[in-house]
Amino acid sequence: MSFRRTPLTLFSRGIAVPAAVVAVLGLLAAPEFLGAGELAAAPARDAGDPDHDGLQNRQETVLGTNPFQADTDADGFSDLEEVARKTSPLYPQSVPQGNRMQLGMSCRGGDNELHALIAIYLPNGDLRDKTFQAGFLVNGRVVTLREGYLGSHATLVMHDAATPGAKIATVDLPISPRMVQSYGDISLFATLGSAADGVVQAADSIHLIAFGQTIVLQVQTSMLMGASLQSGGTGHQTGGAGTGHVGSIYIPLSTGSDQTGWISGQVCVQQTALIGTSGAMITQEVVSAECQDGWDGFCPASCSATVGNTYTTVDPVGLIGG
């Protein structure tokens, strides 16, 4: 497969954090630490971010946040900070607690591109004493992104956080839609730890699924309902409403124009059940799926046909402490 020819490191099992990744963020961060003036100027360069919160308009669409208001729910924490710290930017009762390092992820579409967003909350504002790693899970195999790949493909920008001295680093990582289409679905994960001991203290993952030409982001409904995910998990183990099942919806990312058969005003709402775990990998089976009204989105006609499908994804909780 062509994917093998890309400059990636393949691991067949486990998720290791090699010492070399200590330098990754330093490499990415180097231009950002040239001077305070450059730091302050960074958000203004971006015409696709009118509220200067570090989230591109297309990313705000995926999150459901207001692209003209940096703090959509007016709780004192910017939309970006809430993504990084895994609280809801839509519900003011969901606010970050404590002051520890945290990492949150999302994804947006682009012109025949996907852009993963990795938002990193840094209580001391410093990336250089952190370890960072990002990678994919494809076909049950973990593919860790090399330092050089991140250095040449990812874009890092620093943003102010609500607490003085704290910062939020955003890593924008382009992903080829063709890769998602060729595998059917992929998970992208990222981890953050302290360089002192290398222990992973924060992690997140996203799951992308191809419906023909259209790539969707699978989002847990608990996130949409404003549940605070302080533990760093996605709720896979706890399930929803006592059913043992976890609900999720598909948010189409606008890549390509082929949305034939997609129903406007609806989204595909699924319930999944955990059927197996292996290390940080979890496998879930879709137990129900239907297009539901009342959403600003699109539902694929094949939504209900996903019942019985299984997905293997990365559970961020399984990455922490490793």
Contacts to Ca ion by CB under 5 A: 49, 51, 53, 55, 71, 73, 75, 77
CB of 256 to Ca ion, least distance (A): 24
Q: Indicate the residue among 77 and 136 with the shorter CB distance to Ca ion.
A: 77
- 32 vs 46, beta carbon nearer Ca ion: 46
CB of 75 to Ca ion, least distance (A): 4
**Interacting residues of 235 by C-beta distance below 8 A, sequence separation 6+:** 220, 222, 227, 229, 246
- Nearest approach, Cβ of 57 to Ca ion (angstroms)? 6
Question: To the nearest whole angstrom, how small is the minimum distance from the Cβ of residue 53 to Ca ion?
Answer: 4
* Burial (CB count <10 Å: 0-12, 13-18, 19+), residue 119: buried
Name the β-bridge partners of 104: 119
Vertex 278, ends 310 and 280: CA angle to 5°? Answer: 95
Nearer to Ca ion, 143 or 253 (CB): 253
Give the residue with the Cβ less far from Ca ion, 55 or 217: 55
Rounded Cα gap, residues 6 and 18, in angstroms: 20
Helix (H, G, I), strand (E, B) or coil at 162: coil
Comparing CB distances to Ca ion, the nearer of 73 and 160 is 73
What's at 78, amino acid-wise? Answer: S
Minimum Å gap between C-beta 170 and Ca ion is: 11
Which residue reads 């874009």 in tokens?
A: 155
